[in-house]
Amino acid sequence: MVHTKAPLLITQTVQLDTLLDLLRDQTSVALDTESDSLYAYHEKVCLIQASIPSGSFLIDPLASIDLQHLAPLLADEKTQKVFHASEYDVMCLRRDFGFTFNNLFDTMWAARILGWKRVGLGDILREHFGITLDKKWQRHNWGKRPIEPAALFYAQADTQYLLRLRDLQLRELRQLDRLEEAQEVFSDLAQAKYSGHEFTPDDMWSVKGVWDLDGRAQAILRQLVILRDREARRQNRPAFKVFGDKTLLQLADRAPRSPDHLHGVEGMTNGQVQRYGPALLEAVARGSKDPIPAPPHRTQIDPDISARYELLRAWRKQVAAQRGVESDVIVSNAVLMEVAQRQPRTLDQLPPLPWFGEWRRKTYGHAMLQAIARS
**What distance in Å separates the CA atoms of residue 185 and residue 106, rounded to the nearest whole number?**
9
Please indicate, yes or no, whether residues 44 and 158 belong to a single structural domain of this protein. yes
Give yes or no for a contact between 224 and 248, defined as CB atoms under 8 angstroms apart. yes
In the listed set 289, 322, 348, which residue is the last one of a domain according to the structure? 289
Give yes or no for a contact between 70 and 15, defined as CB atoms under 8 angstroms apart. no
Q: Which residues of the chain have pLDDT under 70?
A: 1-6, 375
Q: Can you count the helices (H) and strands (E) in the chain?
A: 15, 6
Please indicate, yes or no, whether residues 313 and 273 belong to a single structural domain of this protein. no
CB atoms closer than 10 angstroms to residue 139:
8
Please indicate, yes or no, whether residues 136 and 256 belong to a single structural domain of this protein. no
**What distance in Å separates the CA atoms of residue 324 and residue 344, rounded to the nearest whole number?**
28
What per-residue confidence (pLDDT) applies to 375? Answer: 67
Number of domains comprising the chain = 3
Return the bridge partners of 28, or none: 80
Expressed as residue numbers, the domain containing 167 is: 8-189
Helices (H), the chain: 13-23, 71-75, 86-97, 107-113, 121-129, 149-160, 162-175, 179-189, 215-235, 245-254, 270-289, 303-323, 327-330, 333-342, 358-373
Instruction: Report the chain's terminal Cα–Cα distance, integer Å.
Output: 54
Give yes or no for a contact between 30 and 59, defined as CB atoms under 8 angstroms apart. no
What per-residue confidence (pLDDT) applies to 89? Answer: 98
- Specify whether the backbone of 7 is left (phi greater than 0), alpha (psi in -120 to 50) or beta: beta
In the listed set 259, 289, 319, which residue is the last one of a domain according to the structure? 289
CB atoms closer than 10 angstroms to residue 92:
22
Give yes or no for a contact between 284 and 336, defined as CB atoms under 8 angstroms apart. no
CATH code, 227: 1.10.150.80
- Answer yes or no: is 137 within a domain: yes
What angle do helix axes 162-175 and 121-129 make, rounded to 10 degrees? Answer: 80
Give the alpha-carbon dihedral of 309, 88, 139, 135, to 10 degrees. Answer: 80
pLDDT digits 0-9 by tens, 10-54 = 999 999 999 999 999 999 999 999 999 999 999 999 999 999 999
- Answer yes or no: is 324 within a domain: yes
- Answer yes or no: is 196 within a domain: no
Please indicate, yes or no, whether residues 181 and 235 belong to a single structural domain of this protein. no
The answer for residues whose C-beta is within 8 angstroms of residue 251's C-beta and 6 or more apart is: 220, 224, 262, 265, 280, 284
What per-residue confidence (pLDDT) applies to 195? Answer: 84
What per-residue confidence (pLDDT) applies to 138? Answer: 85
